[in-house]
Amino acid sequence: MAVVNAYCVKCKEKRDMNNAENTTMKNGKPAVKGVCPVCGTGMFKIGGVVPA
């Protein structure tokens, strides 16, 4: 599983997200969705890509 670092709004810190998966926004740009390992809040990173 690849590690993607993103900012957690609830914890106010950068963390490695769990269950990171590639997604595409409405405008067609890539993004990554995942979950904060500490608080469980959804995390989102625009322009990120989960390496294979």
Q: List the chain domain ranges.
A: 4-46
Query: Does residue 16 have a pLDDT over 90?
Result: yes
Question: 33, 36, 5: which is closest to 20 by C-alpha?
Answer: 33
Instruction: Please spell the DSSP secondary structure of 7-28, one letter per residue.
Output: EETTTTEEEEEEEEEEEE-TTS
C-alpha 38/C-alpha 40 separation (Å) is: 6
What pLDDT, on the 0 to 100 scale, is given for residue 23? 93
pTM passes above 0.95: no
CATH architecture of 4-46: Single Sheet (2.20)
Output the CA torsion 40→37→43→48 (10° steps): -160
What pLDDT, on the 0 to 100 scale, is given for residue 50? 79
